[in-house]
Structure 1
Amino acid sequence: MPLEIYKRGSVYWVKGWVEYNGRPIAGPYRQSTRATTEAGARDWIRDETDLQVRQYVFGEERTLRFVDAVEIYPPTQQTARQLLPILEEIGDLPLGAITGALLKSLGPKMKPNVCTDTWWREIVTPARAVINNAHELKGTPLLRVKRYDKFERIAQDQRRQKTSRVERIPATREWIEAFCAEADPYNAAMVRFMFETAARIDQAISIEPDDLRPETCEVRIKAQKGHEESWIAVSPEMMAELEALQPKRPKNLKTGQLLSPRVFGYGSPTGYNNRWKTVCKRAGIPYLSAHPAGRHGFFTELVVRQGVDPVTAAKAGRWSDPNLPMRIYAHAETDEAAIRARFRTKPVQAANPQSPKKRKIKKETKDE
């Protein structure tokens, strides 16, 4: 029986088989088309029939389209938003026709006024994840994409007249103390916590009262960036400061719903921004966001200022590879002018020791 539609509530469903030259090639179907109109359901049947016929004739790995790969990919909410405009551009292309160069070329077309790092993060990365997920599940071609090089990055920065990859300024102990002198107890404790532990802002604002172990001075932080949930040690002074905070129930700004109690009182990773800008202005210090105040400040403080070896500092900050924080999070603090001045200073030269005088040895003559 070929595919037929029927209505269940307000949604059209489909049942039957996809046929090719009078022979059933896929099915049986009994599923929702997710369409609320008959025309939408007919479109679903047409698209499904076209896909199954192409797979039957040419083989699935050669005919699977990007839109089909998206259907079998489990995206996060953020990734789903990123994939929607990509679908409009390459949704109907077979996966075998999508190359790394094609994905990279979508950046200037879809987001002409952003940097290459944003193209990579919001276009290339989610699209590549969809394609390689289909490779694992369906055997379609694996896709490797070469990153944008520095020449492409510089050229795009010149087009948009804005510099990307501006070097972050890490927090110092003096900056932390000046900030805390003007901040309320919650923000003061949060900035000290991130500076001491290298916790990310989303990990910090997610801490709940049950995530504290005062008896062992440990705090549980959520999994993030490929790292599992873990308990991390804090100083006794830090734990006392956390215990003194009365947990607050922040509100979800989109739904208005009260969230679970949070130690620092924030419900979103961006909720602290305006408050921190005000504190920095009152303290007369430059504004630093949570990332340079926390992770950048943590690693620079340990490695550059205190001389802790990078392997130990990376492990304490939960970096799996010490080369990464050394390349990104360690900031040199030597005055460049002082370095240049070294070349203008005459080196102290040690006096050349005088070579001992050779003694003349008189040649003895034999008495005749």
Structure 2
Amino acid sequence: MPLEHYKRGRFYWVRGRVEFNGTPITDYYRESTGSLTEAGADDWIAAETNYQRRCHLVGPEAALTFAEAVVLYPANPEAAKQLIPITARLGSMPLSSITEDILKDLGKELKPEASTETWWREIVTPARAVINKAHRRNPKVPGISVSRYAGEELNAQDNKRGKLSKIRRIPANKEWIERFCAAADPHNAALVRFMFETAARIDQSTSITHDHLDPKSYRVWLKAQKGHVATWVVVTPEMMGEILSLPHKRTRSPKTGKLLEQRVFGYASSTSYNERWKRICSKADIPYLSAHAAGRHGFFTELTVRQGINPIDAAKAGRWADPSLPMRIYAHAEAEEADLRALFRTKPVQPKTKKPRKSPKKKGKKDDK
């Protein structure tokens, strides 16, 4: 039976086999297309059928194009928007012919005035994800690894733009947190303390409802995000008490005016906090820090740099699978360079050497005369 779609829940699924001249050339399919519409499911079937027939004729390594891989990739709205110009440029290319240099050079063509960080985030990352998803579907299709922009690549673009690509983040410390909270309303004070204590992301934090709280075990349920699975995170009794004491607060959709579901910290989205935090920081006379700098950067720097906690333990508490990642990105040096240089000029204290004690002279016997 050729591939056909059917609706299962909200999504369209497919069943059947891909045929060539009436002969099945694949195993039996029973999987989701990831599409909410019949038209999207039709596109999925057409792309998969064309791909499998070319695999049958020329082999999988040479069969799949980037445009076909994009159709098979379950992109969220943000990634789909990023993939439109990339597909216009690379769509007809077989995946086997796309190299690291092609992906990295695409930034100069599509976003010539952007930073290398933007190239990485909006071009390299979504394109690489499409290729590697196709590789996971069929290991005979080559995957791809891409190194970060560094050295001359990074410096050349920074010089062209006249500013640095990588913005140095300043992590929050306890003093900043306390001054922020003193000037903030209860919901924002609890929000910043929660992120500083748990390393939760802003979207995870603002999505928390009262159904996500387990007061008896002092736990909060965090949704999955950026490669992290959904999980319970333990908080201090003081933190749980502060959360439970917050007045219930509901917000309206800025587009429709409709009341949204009640969320613990009162924000409807992960970007709503920004302007409010700027006003709080101005009132507290402290530098503005983003939620990411106050939360994840502050959390890891506080534990490892200021309190000397083992990076492996700190990474586990912050739900990083690989401790090298937060050490590279989230741990910030805080010692003054001049103070470190001065250590080389400090004369070490010489231990006092004790003079050897003279051994007492033995009294000899007088000769008898």
Query: Given the two structures, how large is their TM-score scaled by the length of structure 2?
Result: 0.78
**Structure 2 runs not aligned, ≥5 long:** 1-19, 26-36, 41-46, 361-369
AA matched with 2:175: E
Deviation readout 1:129-174 (Å, 9 max, x if unpaired): 2223223335553132331342111221111111122321111111
AA matched with 1:267: A
- Give the C-alpha shift of residue 88 in structure 1: 1.0
Counterpart contact for 2:171–2:298, Cα < 8 Å: yes
Distance in 1 between residues matched to 2:193 and 2:136, nearest whole Å: 44
Distance in 2 between residues matched to 1:329 and 1:55, nearest whole Å: 44
Task: Verify: 1:195 aligned to 2:196, yes or no.
Answer: yes
Which residue of the partner structure matches residue 214 of structure 2? 213
Structure 1 residues 140 and 131: CA distance shift in structure 2, 3 A: farther
Counterpart contact for 1:170–1:297, Cα < 8 Å: yes
- 1:220 match: secondary structure: strand
Distance in 1 between residues matched to 2:235 and 2:188, nearest whole Å: 17
Name whichever of 92-101 and 193-202 sits farther off: 92-101
Distance in 2 between residues matched to 1:343 and 1:52, nearest whole Å: 66
Counterpart contact for 1:26–1:52, Cα < 8 Å: no
Which residue of the partner structure matches residue 269 of structure 2? 268
Counterpart contact for 2:183–2:284, Cα < 8 Å: yes
Moved over 4 A (4+): 23-27, 32-35, 47-57, 351-359
Counterpart contact for 1:66–1:95, Cα < 8 Å: yes
Task: Verify: 1:161 aligned to 2:162, yes or no.
Answer: yes
- Give the C-alpha shift of residue 248 in structure 1: 2.4
- 1:311 match: secondary structure: helix
Which residue of the partner structure matches residue 5 of structure 2? none
Deviation readout 1:236-271 (Å, 9 max, x if unpaired): 111111111123233333454432110111111111
AA matched with 2:113: N
Which residue of the partner structure matches residue 76 of structure 1? 76
Deviation readout 1:313-334 (Å, 9 max, x if unpaired): 2211111122222222222222
Which residue of the partner structure matches residue 329 of structure 1? 330
Distance in 2 between residues matched to 1:292 and 1:272, nearest whole Å: 14
Name whichever of 248-257 and 331-340 sits farther off: 248-257
AA matched with 2:227: G
Name whichever of 243-252 and 266-275 sits farther off: 243-252
- Give the C-alpha shift of residue 89 in structure 1: 0.8
Name whichever of 67-76 and 173-182 sits farther off: 67-76
Aligned length: 328
- 2:327 match: secondary structure: helix
AA matched with 2:284: A
Distance in 2 between residues matched to 1:56 and 1:325, nearest whole Å: 45
Counterpart contact for 1:311–1:322, Cα < 8 Å: yes
Structure 1 residues 48 and 72: CA distance shift in structure 2, 3 A: closer
Task: Verify: 1:147 aligned to 2:147, yes or no.
Answer: yes
Which residue of the partner structure matches residue 107 of structure 1? 107
Distance in 1 between residues matched to 2:162 and 2:115, nearest whole Å: 10
Which residue of the partner structure matches residue 120 of structure 1? 120
Distance in 1 between residues matched to 2:224 and 2:196, nearest whole Å: 19
Distance in 2 between residues matched to 1:133 and 1:246, nearest whole Å: 44
Distance in 1 between residues matched to 2:139 and 2:353, nearest whole Å: 76
Which residue of the partner structure matches residue 279 of structure 2? 278
Name whichever of 347-356 and 137-146 sits farther off: 347-356
Counterpart contact for 2:95–2:142, Cα < 8 Å: no
Which residue of the partner structure matches residue 88 of structure 1? 88
Which residue of the partner structure matches residue 249 of structure 1? 250
Structure 1 residues 96 and 323: CA distance shift in structure 2, 3 A: closer
Q: Which has the larger radius of gyration?
A: 1
Distance in 2 between residues matched to 1:358 and 1:57, nearest whole Å: 99
Structure 1 residues 334 and 135: CA distance shift in structure 2, 3 A: closer
Structure 1 residues 61 and 290: CA distance shift in structure 2, 3 A: same
Task: Verify: 1:287 aligned to 2:288, yes or no.
Answer: yes
Distance in 1 between residues matched to 2:305 and 2:87, nearest whole Å: 46
- 1:231 match: secondary structure: strand
Which residue of the partner structure matches residue 183 of structure 2? 182
Structure 1 residues 231 and 64: CA distance shift in structure 2, 3 A: closer
Deviation readout 1:81-100 (Å, 9 max, x if unpaired): 11111111111222232222
Distance in 1 between residues matched to 2:231 and 2:48, nearest whole Å: 45
Name whichever of 176-185 and 129-138 sits farther off: 129-138
- 2:344 match: secondary structure: helix
Distance in 2 between residues matched to 1:143 and 1:73, nearest whole Å: 14
Structure 1 residues 215 and 356: CA distance shift in structure 2, 3 A: closer
Q: How much is the aligned-residue C-alpha RMSD, in angstroms?
A: 3.3
Write the mapping of 1:19-98 to structure 2, written as runs, cut at 5 A. 58-59=58-59, 61-98=61-98
Structure 1 residues 59 and 338: CA distance shift in structure 2, 3 A: closer
Name whichever of 279-288 and 241-250 sits farther off: 241-250
Query: Given the two structures, how large is their TM-score scaled by the length of structure 1?
Result: 0.79
Structure 1 residues 69 and 26: CA distance shift in structure 2, 3 A: farther
Counterpart contact for 2:251–2:267, Cα < 8 Å: yes
